[in-house]
Amino acid sequence: MKKSFLFALLTFSLFLSVGAQSISGTLHDEAGKPLSAVTVLLLKSADSSTIKFAVTKADGNYRFENIASGNYLIKSTNVGFENNFSSIAVNTTDITVPAITLVKKTKELSGVVVTATRPIVELKADKTVLNVEGTINSVGTDALELLRKAPGVVVDKDDNLSLSGKNGVRVYIDGKPSPLSGTDLAEYLKTMQSSNIDALEIITNPSAKYDAAGNAGIINIRLKKNKSLGTNGTVNAGWGIGNYPKYNTGLSVNSRGKKTNVFANYNYNNNKGRNLMDFYRTTADTVFDMSNRMVNSNEAHTYKAGLDYFINPKKTIGFVVNGMLSDNAMTSNALTDIAYEPTKTSVRKLKAENENEGERNNINANINYRFAEKGKELNIDADYNHYYVFSNQYQPNIYYNQNDVELYRNVYRMISPTKIDMYALKADYEMDYKKGKLGFGAKLGFVNTSNNFKRYNVYGNTNAYDSGRSNRFDYKENVNAAYVNYNKQYKGFMVQAGLRVEQTNLEGDSYGFTWDNQTNKYVDYKGGFKRDYFDFFPSVAFTFNKNPMSQWGISASRRIDRPAYQDLNPFEFKLDDYQYMRGNVNLRPQYTNSISLTHSYKYKLNTKLSYSHVTDIFSQLIDTSEISKSVMSKQNLATQDIVSLNVSYPFIKKQFSSFVNLNSNYSKYKADFGTGREINTDVFTVGLFMQNSLKFAKTWTAELSGWYNSPTIWQGTMKSKAMGGMDLGLQKTLFNNKATLKASMGDILKTMRWKGTSNFAGQYMLASGRWESRVFRLNFTYRFGNAQVKAARQRKAALEEESKRTQQSGGMGGQ
């Protein structure tokens, strides 16, 4: 009932989106010469609040899109000129403002305060941007929770990410690819607080400039960085309460001058939450009915420091160091009833009260150099990343009869440290060429990982090393890449074409002991693999922009996803007495060929229709072993075909603004692993994302956001039920806009829960669960320092920062 109400409420937002116009005009000086790079602000007449921000082009033209009816002021400001104010009234038609003349000042402008408000969601040619800082309901959450609510993103029961129906999402942090995947990535994202995140960039069809990895696309998590001149800073503190209290605080300082920009930030997060999971599984003649209650706690310190040195107007060199120190703990209380299926008679009970303590630490260093002059730009980046993950798990398995009398026990301890080192060197060069832009570059990347899994059998207070169940896995990966990309604007259309080539070299070695039946003892075991392959990844995009109010685009690309190192380790890891996890050395990369058709109407109504064909798609299959035991491993399904449709629309009406995104896809999975182990399933999925905000009483803003995902298929075999949620928030600005107080309540309808079924290889499973999603949060932010920003320098710094960020994240992709 709640989910039906939620879906109806979200759908209602679709009918609110009507009636917004555009405003355009021209600026020139007293001699009638067009003025470029002039700052133009659209202000509300009632309170002079900033609605939108623009900069004039070379011909002096500017334009504001998606403007609601009402009375406005247009403020034009430029160094050396008097500020100009023009009043306009917007009704139901597009407005062309009479030409504005700026008059030179007799005295130099000492400084102006520039205030710009970004929309919550921005749709750009190559990506969708969710501006986290602008939304109230993001306060106090982590990066994984933000992704769960992002347009087109789905997080399944195991915290795996998919985008528009496809797995293989590649996560970047500040334009740098993360080496983590699966559980390691999910746990890392949980330590990243929203207070340290500026925006999420969802790039579904990257160009040749990006790494080819990530068949579903790329999600770039852009961290905050102050770009104002002078010395500025922000301090914040937050508190939340669900089942358990949560705390976070942070400090950010930035000092920008003519020659240097120094920045640093620190954030602390203390989070504790509860998860509930139930699994009902039947295999052969046995039924396993498990109920598990878990409590997770995490304490994390994140930091970032850097320096940009402007050698001269053309050359910049930068240094950045960032990282995280995190301690985590998990306790679970699982009770499994084991029954004989034909008679439904309970045979025994398994009680497992697990404890797990761990660390997740990382440090990342970057040195970058940028040279830019008219028509040319060179960027060079050198990166080093080190990740350390440590786990110490105590796992007791105690069996009881139906009278709760202990029968026997198997108790284990598992200690597993993992080290990951990444090295990368890349160069990108772009130049004007035959009235277009020619870009090319190269990248060398190396990844070294070492995982040492030690298992002990626990007898009382004694830990006995089990060499037969212990393992060390070393993995090396080297990817060498080069690309060329060219784009050019013709009369009425633009073309972008690129080709990326990547050579991949992999090597994995697994060390341990195995039982020798001839000698009746454990002997040394070494297994592994070595492989290399060479791939071409073309991409092309056409944009038909003869009519700017109705633009069409078509694009196509090929991408790859390589197996994660932990999915290749052939060793068998025991989760409990009845569940195992095993790697697969034969796991092959999955490849995706995609084609997309896009349309943009008046820069507001955006539609995208896509088709993707995936070969050798990864899927986590749950198979049977020894009749009643469950074995999880990654396998290559034969194919997946996906057709997706995405429609989005922003809406502004006076003080009310809304963004609605509808994402739907049809997926078909097909594979044949032998008799009784075939997969031939399909599903139609609809996802709805909504964000509404209302400003009132000058300093107050209310926000209502929600998302809904219809039933879908996870990992090719598990059919999930619908899920969704709705959040409510309130914001108050204080102390002349220097401070902000935000309050929010997550999952107000308490609908964020998951449920799914699987029937594969003679094993039926019904699983369900929920997490601590209904949380009340308070957050206070205070901004201090110099608020006066030289207009010309501010615009230049912002443009340089945007250009640099684009280079670091791989550049512009196709639509």
Contact 814, 203 (CB under 8 A): no
pLDDT(810) > 70: no
For residue 773, give both structure tokens.
């999603």
| CA nearest neighbour of 313 among 741, 647, 792 | 792
pLDDT of residue 17: 39
492 sits in the region (left: phi over 0; alpha: psi -120 to 50; else beta) called left
C-alpha distances out from residue 125 to 223, 760, 811, Å:
21, 42, 12
pLDDT(203) > 90: no
User: Which residue did the predictor score with more confidence, 635 or 391?
Assistant: 391
Tokens 């995009």 — which residue? Answer: 541
Q: How many helices (H) and strands (E) does the chain have?
A: 4, 47
Tokens 């007898």 — which residue? Answer: 459
pLDDT(226) > 50: yes
Which amino acid, one-letter code, is at 622?
A: I
CA gap 537, 484 in Å, rounded: 11
Sign of CA dihedral 207, 209, 210, 213: positive
Could you list the beta-strand ranges (E) of 341-470: 345-373, 376-400, 406-433, 436-459, 462-465
Please compute the mean of the pLDDT values over residues 84-104 and round it to a whole number: 80
| CA nearest neighbour of 211 among 382, 444, 376 | 444
String of b and e for 418-429 (b: at least 16 CB within 10 Å)?
Answer: bebebebebebe
List the single range of 252-266, 295-309, 354-368 with lowest mean pLDDT. 252-266
Please compute the mean of the pLDDT values over residues 568-577 and round it to a whole number: 66
pLDDT(4) > 60: no
The SS3 call for residue 138 is helix
The strand order across the sheet containing 176-177 reads: 121-123, 128-131, 197-203, 217-223, 169-173, 176-177
Of 88-97, 132-141, 374-383, 597-606, which has the strongest mean pLDDT?
374-383
List the single range of 519-523, 731-735, 789-793 with lowest mean pLDDT. 789-793
Q: What percent of the chain is predicted at pLDDT more than 90?
A: 35
148 sits in the region (left: phi over 0; alpha: psi -120 to 50; else beta) called alpha
Please compute the mean of the pLDDT values over residues 722-751 and round it to a whole number: 92
pLDDT(220) > 80: yes
Name the pLDDT band for 462 (thresholds 50, 70, 90). very high
CA gap 77, 71 in Å, rounded: 20
Entry pTM: 0.75
List the single range of 283-292, 571-580, 793-802 with lowest mean pLDDT. 793-802
Please compute the mean of the pLDDT values over residues 553-558 and round it to a whole number: 91
Q: What percent of the chain is predicted at pLDDT more than 70?
A: 84
pLDDT of residue 443: 96
Count other Cβ atoms within 10 Å, centred on residue 250: 20
Residue-wise pLDDT tens digits, 341-396: 888 888 999 998 999 999 999 999 999 999 988 889 999 999 999 999 999 999 99
Q: What is the CA 612 to chain-centroid distance, rounded?
A: 21
CA gap 194, 178 in Å, rounded: 18
